[in-house]
């Protein structure tokens, strides 16, 4: 994970640059996004914010995340079976490894992805602006659980 303090400062600057207000609720949400590793869901964020700032409403969490996504400071990961997850550390496209059993999401370092983007652009004539790459499988821990003996 990148340095959480630096990420937080980055996000705050972006808000200030665009003349958005820094409210205590927003600050609490930014802190969580800047320092969370696990691609949290809105609910996870909501629960954590309430510890810092108990009166925060779900709607505010949604609004803040939408704002940050708009400003390219948060990456939104949607899934068909349930709620979105958010990445406040690397707000740009990158691959994910998703464990189908424990739902853990980690970021692998992958070379060779850029080559793919070039290839697809060349072959289809599309101008590529973003991508999404997810691998679904079983993490090492869950592989042991699946085959105990």
Interactions with DNA, residue window 67-96 (CB under 7 A): 78, 80, 82-84
Half-sphere exposure of 2 (CA within 13 A, CB side): 13
* Closest CB 85 distance from DNA, rounded Å: 8
Beta bridge partners of 98: 105, 136
* Smallest distance from DNA to CB 50, Å: 10
The distance of closest approach from Cβ of residue 123 to DNA in the complex, given in angstroms and rounded to an integer, is 29
Q: Nearer Cβ to DNA, position 78 or 112?
A: 78
72 makes contact with a copy of itself (CB under 8 A)? no
Classify strands 85-87 and 75-77 as parallel, antiparallel or unpaired.
Answer: antiparallel
Dihedral sign, Cα of residue 85, residue 87, residue 92, residue 93? negative
Q: Of 26 and 31, which has the nearer Cβ to DNA?
A: 26
22 binds DNA, rule: CB under 7 A: yes
Piece in contact with DNA (CB under 7 A), picked from 38-46, 96-104, 124-132, 138-146: 38-46
Are 116 and 128 in contact by the 8 Å Cβ rule? The answer is: no
CA atoms within 13 A on the CB side of 25: 17
Closest alpha carbon to 133 in 80, 89, 94, 104: 94
Largest Cα separation within the chain, whole Å, is 59
Residues at the contact surface with DNA, assessed by CB under 7 A: 20-26, 41-43, 53, 55-60, 62-64, 66, 78, 80, 82-84
Residues at the contact surface with a copy of itself, assessed by CB under 8 A: 76-81, 84, 95, 97, 99-100, 106, 108-113, 115-117, 119-121, 123-140, 143
């Amino acid at each position: 994970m990148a340095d959480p303090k630096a990420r937080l400062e980055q996000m705050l600057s972006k808000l200030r640059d665009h003349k958005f207000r820094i409210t205590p609720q927003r600050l609490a949400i930014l802190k969580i996004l800047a320092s969370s590793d696990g691609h949290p869901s809105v609910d996870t964020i909501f629960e954590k914010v309430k510890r810092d700032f108990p009166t925060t409403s779900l709607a505010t969490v949604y609004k803040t995340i939408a704002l940050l996504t708009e400003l390219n400071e948060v990456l939104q990961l949607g899934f068909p079976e349930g709620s979105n997850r958010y990445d406040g550390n690397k707000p740009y496209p990158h691959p994910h490894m998703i464990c189908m059993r424990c739902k853990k999401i980690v970021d692998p370092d992958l070379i060779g992805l850029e080559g793919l983007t070039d290839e697809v652009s060349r072959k289809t004539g599309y101008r590529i602006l973003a991508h999404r790459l997810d691998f679904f499988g079983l993490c090492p821990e869950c592989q042991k659980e699946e085959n105990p003996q």
